[in-house]
Chains A and B, each alone.
Chain A
Amino acid sequence: MTADAASAPAGTADATGPEASRGPRARGATAYLRYVAGKLAGAAVSLFAVLVTSFFLFRLIPGDPVKFMTGGRQVSAEQLANYREQFGLDLPLWQQFTDSCGKALTGDLGTSYQFNAPVSDKITEALPNTLLLTGTAFVIYTLLGIVLGTRSAWRHGRIGDRLNTGLALTLYSVPSFWLGLLLIVTLSVGAGPLPGLFPTGGMESGGEEGLAYVLDVAHHLVLPVVTLVAVEYGQTLLVTRSALLDEMGSDYLTTARAKGLRDDLVRRRHAVPNALLPTVTLILINLGRTVAGVILVETVFSWPGLGGLFYQALSVPDLPLVQGLFFVFAAAVIVMNTVADLIYPLLDPRVGR
């Protein structure tokens, strides 16, 4: 969730802390492998739990899915029964569940009511667009957060630091969809003297090929990326800042300075690499959440990605599609958490000693 307040840096740090301390005892490869196996097993259990939840949660929606499919048209009882059979809705619930689990293992997530196409096709269609959007935003907000966070910490308490953290906290409190709408109004539609600089939504104008197509997509990408970066970079900034401040009093920095290193070198070669260690995990966990948080930005900018699809599917409600997307979003978070757990002991050999 994008809106996890500033508690998120502290909260997440606390949440991963005990996990990390259960890490390998730094006694070679076997210990690490055992650790990896444990984490992977945990992730598999989580994924299964998500599968179960996504199945049963959405069965609670009141109303008959077949009625939604026919959209209130006059249909005979036979046709309804046909639909039920086609989508397997005539079977008992537990059988529907075991069927859907079995199919999920082979990558079959059912058929969308709305598009009458396999859910997995819709997802693989939209996934690259979401990855393009979140990937671009992720690279930018991470770099921005780290650079600004480092500066803030290095000169903490000064006016620059205060402005930096103040701005980050403010943007952090802004609803992402609102920021997106404002950007569209001012920069796409054009308010007052401002001309419309950017497209209002979508991913392409259509008709372009080659380089022109790439530039066109990039043009469409600007505003959604700016929105995502603005609401997300604060988190990285605060985490980097507090991690670096923890390192600031360390003896090795005094040593580095005593050697006569320039301040700049002390910062870049000594302080920052150490401070980034705890930041890396949080950045990865954040990425998983960004994928889920992108729902609003994609909806506002009509970006043809997973988030926009989720919104469309919700308004029907298109159960198999909602279910499949819910699974994908949760899986993204779980995978990123697991990756963070796995690489952390490799980055920081002190863990678990």
Chain B
Amino acid sequence: MTTTENGTKGQGSRAGRVRSLARRRRRASAARFWRQYRTHRAGLFGLGTLLLCALSALAAPLLAGSDVDDVTDAPGGPLEDPSARFPFGTDRFGRNLLGLVIWGARVSLLVGLLAAVLSVAIGTLIGVTAGHFKGWYATVMMRITDWFLVMPTLVLAIALATVMPRSLLTIVVAIGVTTWPTTARLVRAQTLAVETRPYIERARALGGGHWHIMFRHVLPNVMPLVLAQTTLIISSAILAEATLAFLGLGDPTVVSWGALLQDAREAGAVSSGHWWYLVPPGVAVAVVALAFTLCGRAVEQVLNPRLGVSR
């Protein structure tokens, strides 16, 4: 805004005006997006749930105390039933299960987000470049994508997690590296559609290079799609993290929902009928995964109204 007021003459002021115009348009379209998103009740529900989860994950030290995962100084006896002191009961070391579930949200959300960002980043990079540079580069990239697409994702992720050292980073990489192909395909299709528009030709005629066209013109136009895709991938990444941790491939030193379930199974909660040990972490995974899925579907419907009719 300030640039339009200040600038009256010269090259710089014109560039500033253009930029502020672009900014205003972007803001308007964001507002329009939000207005439409608001009409999707399931999407709002998902968003609300996510905000709640994110807040409690951030406030975990306040809500649950920072020493909740301390095995040696646990407040209760092992496998206590739910009570007023321990609403979800205690785990096999006597730790407060409610506190552990709250702390677990941090790891699960963090891994889910990072893995999804990695996956979408790879997918977008390959999708945009394969759509922009045609010819042998695109052919090779799409062959690789197709090949990853037919690999059983979970099996490949398990294999990668087995091969690499046990850490959160490993889990993030294993999930990110195995889930990008759908994004790459979607983004490439969108890039091909965007590249036929006249403004791309204009940018090229004005001397815009590959880099300029891909990042200033194509990328902003595929961003909405990428956003929807990210939300949907986060939900599968959180499920995948729980799965890998359950199989014992996660970092043994951190508390995550999948690791809690693995603990529960190892402690014999299944055969001894301690169902309340199993319920909270699983419900947490399901609720967060569902919330992300609902958000992703709502975003998809806003961006592609035809889906709104058909789904």
Question: Is A bound to B?
Answer: yes
Which residues of A are interface residues toward B (Cβ below 8 A)? Answer: 1-7, 10-12, 14-15, 18, 46, 49-50, 53, 57-58, 60-62, 166, 169-170, 172-175, 177-179, 181-182, 184-186, 189-191, 200, 238, 241-242, 245-246, 288-289, 291-293, 295-296, 299, 310-311, 314-315, 317, 322, 326, 329-330, 332-334, 337
Nearest residue, chain A, Cβ from B182: A11
Q: Is the CB of A190 within 8 A of B273?
A: yes
- From B153, B155, B189, contact of A4 by CB (8 A): B153
Instruction: Classify the interface of chain B: helix, strand, loop or mixed.
Output: helix
> How many residues of B are in contact with the other chain, CB < 8 A?
66
Q: Decide if B1 is an interface residue (CB 8 Å cutoff).
A: no
6 contacts between A and B (CB under 8 A): A5-B292, A10-B307, A11-B186, A46-B150, A169-B294, A296-B246
Complex-state Cα separation, A4 to B274, whole angstroms: 30
Complex-state Cα separation, A314 to B151, whole angstroms: 18
Q: Is the CB of A317 within 8 A of B293?
A: no
- From A12, A178, A190, A310, contact of B285 by CB (8 A): A178
Q: Decide if B232 is an interface residue (CB 8 Å cutoff).
A: yes
Q: Is the CB of A50 within 8 A of B311?
A: no
Complex-state Cα separation, A324 to B86, whole angstroms: 46
Which A residues lie within 8 Å of B286 (CB)?
170, 173-175, 178
Which A residues lie within 8 Å of B62 (CB)?
none
Q: Is the CB of B189 within 8 A of A14?
A: yes
Q: Is the CB of B296 within 8 A of A6?
A: yes
Q: Is the CB of A293 within 8 A of B154?
A: yes
Which residues of B are interface residues toward A (Cβ below 8 A)? Answer: 42, 146-147, 149-155, 157-160, 162-165, 179, 181-182, 185-186, 189, 229, 232-233, 235-236, 239-240, 242-243, 246-248, 258, 261, 264-265, 269-275, 278-279, 281-282, 285-287, 289-290, 292-294, 296-297, 300, 307, 309-311
Which B residues lie within 8 Å of A11 (CB)?
182, 185-186
Nearest residue, chain B, Cβ from A325: B155
Q: Is the CB of B278 within 8 A of A174?
A: no
- From B153, B160, B164, B310, contact of A1 by CB (8 A): B153
**How close is A123's CB to chain B, nearest CB, in angstroms?**
14
Q: Is the CB of A174 within 8 A of B282?
A: yes
Q: Is the CB of A5 within 8 A of B296?
A: yes
Q: Is the CB of B239 within 8 A of A189?
A: no
Given A175-B286, A182-B275, A326-B159, decide whether A15 and B149 contact each other with a Cβ distance below 8 A.
Answer: yes
Q: Is the CB of A175 within 8 A of B239?
A: yes
Nearest residue, chain A, Cβ from B229: A7
